[in-house]
Amino acid sequence: MTDLPLAGITVVSLEQAVAAPYATRQLADLGARVIKVERPDGGDFARGYDETVHGQSSYFVWLNRSKESITLDLKSTDGLAILRELIGRADVFVQNLGPGATERMGFGTDALTEAHRGLVVCEISGYGADGPWRTRKAYDLLVQAEAGLLSITGSSGNVAKAGISVADIAAGSFAYSGVLAALLARATTGRGRAVRVSLFEALTEWMGSPAYYAAYGGRSPQRTGARHATIAPYGPFTAGDGGAVLLAVQNQREWGRLCADVLGRADLIEDPRFARNSDRVENRDELEKIIADAVQRHTADELAQQLDTASIANARMNTMDQLWGHPVLAERERWRDVPTPSGPIRALLPPADLEGIEPRMGAVPALGEHSEAILAELGRSRGEVECLRSTGVI
């Protein structure tokens, strides 16, 4: 096993909730030292979202393994001075505080890149660092609405949000790749670059297909529940035993095999109602009734086997319990044990496998767990640390 790719890189993160913690956790997975700066009175508010994982938040344990936690009161002069020292020693500074918060503390992106030539500064905002909505608050569901995701998600009679924090995750993913690109550029130029990501623009990028479909097709994709809005047949069907199987036809060859080998209806292949994908979408209700009637003669397992034999993609509608015990994850040995303050948990390896490298799967930190050690590195004596603690700075 070789050294982790980001070993020797120090990241200081003034982070909360999902977007920035997701970006920095991925940097930590690759070996970066991530120092998470938290408020003394409760820390990252994601710590309190729920108590489901040994009394800890499911969000927090997912997003914060392999990090160090230091508490700092950034309304105090001493707290700001310590943060300034930490940033001065860092390679990367990441923040996703509210609009204007870091600028008011003297840690705005432009000021930091001016003061520290090699520092990569990553700023995650709601609607952009400039522009008409730069001061507007943004939370995941609000961004889902603004980016049009809610208009295409759900069923015909009911709008539905995505079941995960998709805007935050999109922004965290782009922040992560942006920081990696900035570090690569620094390796050749010696100069750090600012990375700016907004939740709105990150999710808007993911909305590319429906946006193009609407802009050039003259109508928005319809809300179609668990069915694909612009490809048919692509969605769940109930077999004769009541089990659901989701099948997906992506091209004309698969359409022909579905008709002849699974449905026993080769006559449908050239039926003008269903000849092209756009025809099948236009006549979706008729098509899905034909398929629904035909699959009634099979159990869900039989239907899935027939689809596999015909090389037609399919899946079962798994619950979270079934995902947790999924044979692919088990047989590919994707689970690792990770310590937390309240006991060990299982955690998935990062999805990108780097040959010869085992990603770091370190502990989830308790609030302020590393404050004393980090302050000692900065030259603070034990007495000074106790003074900072007694005055509420840490």
How far is the C-alpha of 126 from the C-alpha of 200, rounded, in Å? 6
**What's the per-residue H, E or C state across 249-280?**
CCCHHHHHHHHHHHHCCHHHCCCCCCCCHHHH
CB 41 within 8 A of CB 20: no
Average pLDDT on 189-196 reads: 95
Average pLDDT on 81-90 reads: 97
CB 64 within 8 A of CB 385: no
End-to-end CA distance of the chain: 38
pLDDT given for residue 1 in this prediction: 42
Structure tokens belonging to residue 172: 């965290």
pLDDT given for residue 224 in this prediction: 87
Mind listing the pLDDT tens digit for each residue in 131-174?
Answer: 999 999 899 999 999 999 999 999 888 999 999 999 999 999 99
Mind listing the pLDDT tens digit for each residue in 368-392?
Answer: 999 999 999 999 999 999 999 999 9
Give helix 199-206 / helix 166-189 axis angle, nearest 10°. 100
pLDDT given for residue 157 in this prediction: 86
In the chain, the domains with their CATH numbers are 10-207+326-390 (3.40.50.10540), 234-316 (3.30.1540.10)
How far is the C-alpha of 15 from the C-alpha of 179, rounded, in Å? 15
Closest by alpha carbon to 21, among 3, 38, 36, 40?
36
How far is the C-alpha of 22 from the C-alpha of 161, rounded, in Å? 20
Closest by alpha carbon to 176, among 358, 42, 5?
5
Average pLDDT on 288-292 reads: 96
How far is the C-alpha of 291 from the C-alpha of 360, rounded, in Å? 47
Determine phi and psi for 31, rounding to 5 degrees. 110, -5
Respond yes or no on whether the N-terminal peptide bond of residue 233 is cis (omega within 30° of 0): yes
Average pLDDT on 195-222 reads: 94
CB 324 within 8 A of CB 318: no
